[in-house]
Chains A and B, each alone.
Chain A
Amino acid sequence: MTTDQNMFSEALIDDEGIVYEGEMPEDDPYALSYETGQGTVYTVSGGDWDSISSPDEGERERIVVNMGPQHPSTHGVLRLILELEGETVIDTRCGIGYLHTGIEKNMEYRTWTQGVTFVTRMDYLSPFFNETAYCLGVEKLLGVTDQIPERASTIRVLMMELNRISSHLVALATGGMELGALTAMTFGFRERELILDIFEMVTGLRMNSAYVRPGGVAQDITDDQVIRIRETLPLLRKRMKDTADLLVDNAIWMGRTVGVGYLDLAGCMSLGITGPILRSTGLPHDLRKSQPYCGYETYDFAVPTQDTCDAYGRFLIRVAEMQESIKIVEQALDRLRQGPVMIEDKKIAWPARLSIGGDGQGNSPEHIKEIMSQSMEALIHHFKLVTEGFSVPPGQVYSAIESPRGELGVHIVSDGGTRPYRVHYRDPSFNNLQATAAMSNGSMISDVIAAVASIDPVMGGVDR
């Protein structure tokens, strides 16, 4: 037993030369700890190598490798802390938080409508899902769920399903890139561009559009846009088939993914896993079917499942889901009827009135004329709605939708004010990333990449 001069407490070194700091548990040699006024703080940044592993530890040397947060194949700023014996992974831990931006805290200082602008930036590959989940929650708090115009719900479904395709395309693209299938990456991003063009045409922005608002959507879709979306679908369908053909029966792709990242139904249930990972165990659980929202019960589509519980099954499910989404998009386009896209209640509806200008979007000249030169009351109302916003009756709701990655749940608390009291996103990426260790322990390092790619975490959603 020796004493060590450092910033922490007394260090203990046992017979095997492993250093223990303070109350550090014996099986956790990586987390140093020290006491603060608010309790014990653990630092998982590691330490001096000699203090972690003694050189004479026998013939099977166990090393710890930090992979990420800037590694090209960890699917974003994910840090994997791998414990290795040779090429075999003994233990896996995830280090997250590199993309934490305090969105939930910021939302408490803006109006309910402005919150959409924040949530759209969480899971940046599926912004319309973030927006819709939030708006459905706010509408439930307001008690106006029944008053949302049908056209608005249909447009939401349309945008969400297009978004599901673009998100799955990126899942295939980045997953392919991480496993060395670079053509899949170029194909995936190329096809996604078609969908982002649609988003730009409809909302004005490719990503982070803040398009779905409490009460409806920000702007209507014109007939020209509907035609252009219809024209895009056959090309999208053909190119998606190309991408699928490239990989589905590809021997190398199958060699990298079949039987890799195994997680069965019991594992999914106990770890709260939803989405394609859960459906790869054979359970057809999809909130669009079991707890429909936005009128999903009226659309004709299937929930693809596999029973292989592995990365290959999840890949097949994503490919099949994209086809189903195209079916839903076509049905949504067919049932678009003329009508309002924003709730009737003028105390909630914002943007109040927009019209298509020469640049494709903009304020309604009639509305501006009315509030600026005709009706002072209308101007006051507009000013109050924009600066103050609307109040939401006190209470809390949990609104959940099926995002491309699983159950996206939003817990919203209102204290009756014009700002959210607390908004919390139960992001599927955050929850599903917990399965990394269960999927990869005991496998090779290369399989960890395939397993993480099959989870398809988006770090913007994980960290928020």
Chain B
Amino acid sequence: MSDQQSVSPFEAGLEVAASATTLPEGMRELEVIGVRHGAFSAQDGGDTSGFGGLVAPIVMPGPTEPPYGGWFDAAAEELALALADRGVPMTTAVEKVVVDRGEITFFVRREHLLAFASALRDEPALRFEMCMGVNGVHYPGDVGRELHAVYPFQSVTHNRRIRVEVTCPDGDPRIPSITSVYPANDWHERETYDFFGIIFDGHPALTRIEMPDDWPGHPQRKDYPLGGIPVEYKGAEVPPPDQRRAYS
């Protein structure tokens, strides 16, 4: 492991990743969010398994090109028309579309999120009446877009679901609030702010909701430690969960 410390492990991993993985036809980029070293979490050279030198990229499902299949194509066309009515071309608002495991995800650029949300709610052909909240995900390895906000939408009229994902960098964790379009997101955005530190601009009262008001830090971020104390049982000591050996 010691020779990897001179170069950044992430960059070293990316090189290996690029050489080991070929892009499927039609894909623009690899969705690499990190690099996995070894098969066990031992970082101190104590790994005698022989797997310590393994380097593997962590690749999320990549962008999908149309046709997406099923009702996804019709919905995407309606979305493009609705966005054009609002003066935003689809290609400007939407970074990429991912169809994976039967679910469609629109990666929307944060400055166009409000227009996108109002199109989802107001267009009769789309009619996503309900936003089922927002959830944050922290990808420290996804440089420049570390924080993701994921919005599941549901249309009761058409019995459909889509997902919208918005990213923002750690240095500028701001995403417009959609509470003006979907008031249901009031508490959900507060929760995501509480746990990830994403600031939802335009939210009426963006305060902490689960943690105490004066809590330092945002607990669900990956750089926030889990905490815990060793447990002693019959003379043996079990370390806290975040210091135990992991296998991934």
* Smallest beta-carbon distance B182→chain A, Å: 7
- List the B side residues contacting A291 at CB < 8 Å: 159, 161
Interface segment, one of B5-13, B14-22, B58-66, B78-86: B58-66
Asked whether A419 lies within 8 Å of B248 as measured between CB atoms, the reply is yes
A104 touches B220 (CB 8 A): yes
Q: Mark A247-289, 1 if CB is under 8 A from B, else 0.
A: 0000000000000000000000111111000000001010000
A105→B219 contact, CB < 8 A: yes
User: What's the Cα separation between A45 and B103 when bound, in Å?
Assistant: 42
Residues in B whose Cβ lies below 8 Å from that of A426: 132-133, 135, 152, 188
Find out whether the CB atom of A388 lies under 8 angstroms from the CB atom of B247.
yes
List residues of A whose CB falls within 8 A of some B CB: 28, 31, 36, 38-39, 41-45, 96-97, 100, 102, 104-106, 108-110, 140-141, 143, 269-274, 283, 285, 290-291, 387-389, 391, 394-398, 400, 407, 409, 411, 413, 415-419, 421-422, 424, 426, 430-431, 433-434, 463-464
Nearest residue (CB) in A for B219 is: A105
Could you tell me the distance between the alpha carbons of A434 and B207 in the complex, rounded to whole angstroms? 15
Residues of B within 8 A of A396 (CB): 60, 100, 105, 137, 150, 163
**What 1/0 mask marks residues of chain B from 171 to 199 whose CB sits below 8 Å from any chain A CB?**
00000000000111111100100000101
A112 CB, min distance to chain B CBs, angstroms: 10
Return chain B residues, CB-CB under 8 Å to A424.
135-136
Give the docked Cα–Cα distance between A271 and B133 (Å): 10
- Cβ contacts A to B, 9 pairs, < 8 Å: A97-B209, A105-B226, A140-B102, A271-B184, A398-B132, A415-B33, A419-B248, A422-B135, A431-B184
List residues of B whose CB falls within 8 A of some A CB: 33-34, 36, 58-61, 100-103, 105, 129-133, 135-138, 150, 152, 154, 156, 159, 161, 163, 182-188, 191, 197, 199, 205, 207-214, 216-217, 219-220, 226, 241-242, 244, 246-248
Q: How many residue pairs at the A-B interface have CB separations less than 8 Å?
A: 150
Closest chain-B Cβ to A146's Cβ sits at a distance in Å of 12
B131 contact set on A, CB distance < 8 A: 272
Say whether B242 contacts A109, CB under 8 Å: yes
Q: Is the CB of B132 within 8 A of A417?
A: no
Extra A-B contacts (10), CB below 8 Å, given A396-B163, A416-B248: A39-B199, A110-B241, A395-B101, A396-B137, A398-B103, A398-B152, A411-B152, A415-B33, A419-B248, A426-B135
On whether the beta carbons of A417 and B101 are closer than 8 Å, the reply is no
Instruction: Name the one of B205, B211, B212, B248 contacting A391, with C-beta atoms under 8 angstroms.
Output: B248
Question: 10 tightest CB-CB pairs across the interface, nearest first?
Answer: A417-B248, A272-B184, A424-B135, A388-B247, A109-B241, A97-B210, A100-B210, A418-B248, A42-B207, A269-B129
CB distance from A318 to the nearest CB of B (A): 21
Contact of A102 among B130, B182, B219 (CB under 8 A): B219
B166 to A: closest C-beta gap in Å: 14
**In the complex the two chains form, is A96's CB within 8 Å of B133's CB?**
no
In the complex, what distance in Å separates the CA atom of A411 from the CA atom of B151?
10
